Structure 1
Amino acid sequence: MKTIMLVCSAGMSTSLLVTKMEKAAEAQGIEAKIFAVAEAEAANHLDEIDVLLLGPQVRFLEGNMKKKLEPKGIPLAVINSVDYGMMKGDKVLEQALDLMK
């Protein structure tokens, strides 16, 4: 079971993407817990995740989050803006899985 956290401004715009990622994971037989939080809540979940994906609108958090996650060995990346905008759950899931390899 892999735990993937998405972070966006308010946690709202990523909820649809989470649903699409869950469907993609299920179709591929991948067990994953995928959830989205607002940037203000992100720090509360850093000890329970395997990877962190930032929405393009909060890419400015990348440097600060890297400092917190690197010592824990947790990868992070900014979601590709085209995949995010088109809500391509399969592509974003693939990005998360690649980061955990």
Structure 2
Amino acid sequence: MTKPLGYYTSYTPGDDSLLEKVQEQYGSTFERMTKREKLSILMILASNIGAQLEGGVRGEIYAVAREMTDKLSLSDQSGIMQAIIDQARWGQNADAKPVHHS
């Protein structure tokens, strides 16, 4: 995160919000968090958002994710994460049910 927290969120300085408290404790770019801590927050937030969405996850998605962890570099895995975050946030998602080919 090279831009400050307010760039990505509704936080504005002086609003006495949770985001202000987080920024004060960990820095405006989370520079006082380790990479592992940042990834833990990402995992928890992604799980929370995913649990609130309707529908299920196709089994093949778990297989693809496992293959990605086995075969892609950490840099490429991080790139996939960024792409998914951008797509999920800005609505670039399949709305139709998956088509199964026989």
Task: Give TM-score scaled by structure 2 length.
Answer: 0.27
Q: For the pair shown, which has the larger CA radius of gyration, 1 or 2?
A: 2
Higher relative contact order (CA 8 A, sep 6+): 1
Larger relative strand fraction: 1
Q: TM-score with structure 1 length normalisation?
A: 0.28
